[in-house]
Structure 1
């Protein structure tokens, strides 16, 4: 009888490890009291060791039901005996770009115009940043920013000025696909109209270019700084 009792108690204690020591202590006290400790007038009921086993089973049952409720309600999983918090799906929405800054299209000898190329389609587009200068420029940096409206990724770029006169790059930054062209030291931009174009794929559909814009910072050969820019809004 003692061996069977201890085996049942050991099984109940292992099912609820955090209270194992307390349960064993209560069992020992119950066995020490035994039937002889009962008074003649005490109401008959379950022996102390049966009460202990019943309490242990009840505790285990409550824990099991609680864990099942957490898993059912939150979709959690158990890892190493602990209930894990339900995973949160990652957001797939495109990044929200910043506001288009205030831009002026003319400054001294430099003039700017932004437009989406008419050959763009439902999957691909080209944005044209056009500059017209009535004086030579000794420095020039053009930045074209295409808002990340979904699926926007570069497919290339070009400029009407000589390729060897510029360093070019394209990178994702702050919710935009950013194209940059920088005139190399010792080179000069001549008088005339010049185009800088960025090409890119985008999510299927009629893409809005309202969040796109470009800026151009330049210096005349005399050293005076000038700055222009324009957006690509549909009502432009």
Structure 2
């Protein structure tokens, strides 16, 4: 099975449809599948539900899908750094399902592991718990959260071999592995594809069994919040 594709558009061919659910990896602007996101924008697929930690910034990452009004609903834990996200939500143009960060990661992991739901104490007594089943274990209250199963997962890794074994670099290892596993189909973009057998099995973060299609590309290294101090006098 050849998983390698020349472009992001080619890798997504036949997978996109209006109203679908997409799980997207990354955290802030770190480890985001920027090439695949751009290809989804170019395809014009609309009414999307996107499960991702956040929604990029106004002109980069998932933010470009907000700008084109292709996202109907976000399932996220953080919505800062994106003025258009805030505007669309407050105006009623965008549906938002807030999840605590660990809960969102676990919902993706659970979906990928075939677990339909799990109980957590996070969010008990807050708006997060409204409308959800409550249950006591050992005298403590928990709420039921459901696993996420997406129509498509899009992730970004550092290295891959042709079979789709992935290695993530540093912080990019946060939401990418659980996002990759919870999709019915997973497409990964990587910075480098290395020959079969050159990856140490102990260093592989995600086995290729989860990855269906693969592209290599050039990526932009953006800093979400640039913080500098004044130069000290010499």
Class of the TM-score when normalised by the shorter of the 2 chains = under 0.3
Normalised TM-score (structure 1) = 0.22
